[in-house]
Amino acid sequence: MTKRRVLYICHNHPTVRPGGAEMYAVELYEAMRASDNFEPILLAKAGPPVSDARRPHEGTLLGSVNRDPNQYFFYTDGADYDYFYGMSKNKEIHVRFLRQFLRAIQPDIVHIQHTLFLGYEVIREVKNTLPHAAIVYTLHEY
């Protein structure tokens, strides 16, 4: 039996800046690693304002987190985030970089933990790119 791929998307990673949603996302990811039915993948935002991490290009995915090949950083700049509308001003992040990642990973389920610094349009991009994938959106303190 083939394992179903579950992609967790979070607005930050606890190794960059600890927080409740970040810890929850990583704990879910770790719990799923022990499952015989699911293959978890974690995509976490990195870059300003939550970290000073340098990246060569906006939106790029570089390597792994903590030497784990199924954890990725998604580099964006929080200055491009519109807090009022909850959207990213830089549409290329979603239209190009996130779409490429989703196509490469091909998850069966996408569990979005938080859209802060990423934008609500993450949900639309997941639906447009992966029309048959199930989408779960956990609402935290907002």
- Whether residue 29 is contained in a domain is answered as yes
The CATH number linked to 60 is: 3.40.50
Strand, coil or helix: what is 124? helix
pLDDT bin (cut points 50, 70, 90) of residue 130 is very high
- Whether residue 142 is contained in a domain is answered as no
Instruction: Give the model's pLDDT for residue 81.
Output: 80
- Tens of pLDDT, residue by residue over 5-19, are 999 988 766 666 666
- Whether residue 45 is contained in a domain is answered as yes
Number of domains present in the structure of the chain: 1
- Tens of pLDDT, residue by residue over 20-67, are 667 677 788 888 888 899 999 988 877 665 555 555 455 555 555 667
- Whether residue 63 is contained in a domain is answered as yes
Strand, coil or helix: what is 45? strand
How far apart, in whole angstroms, are the C-alpha atoms of residue 39 and residue 70? Answer: 9
- Whether residue 9 is contained in a domain is answered as yes
Query: Per this entry, what is the length of the chain?
Result: 142
Instruction: Give the model's pLDDT for residue 56.
Output: 47
- Tens of pLDDT, residue by residue over 53-63, are 555 455 555 55
Read off the tokens for 5.
């791929």
Range of the domain at 11: 4-137
- Whether residue 40 is contained in a domain is answered as yes
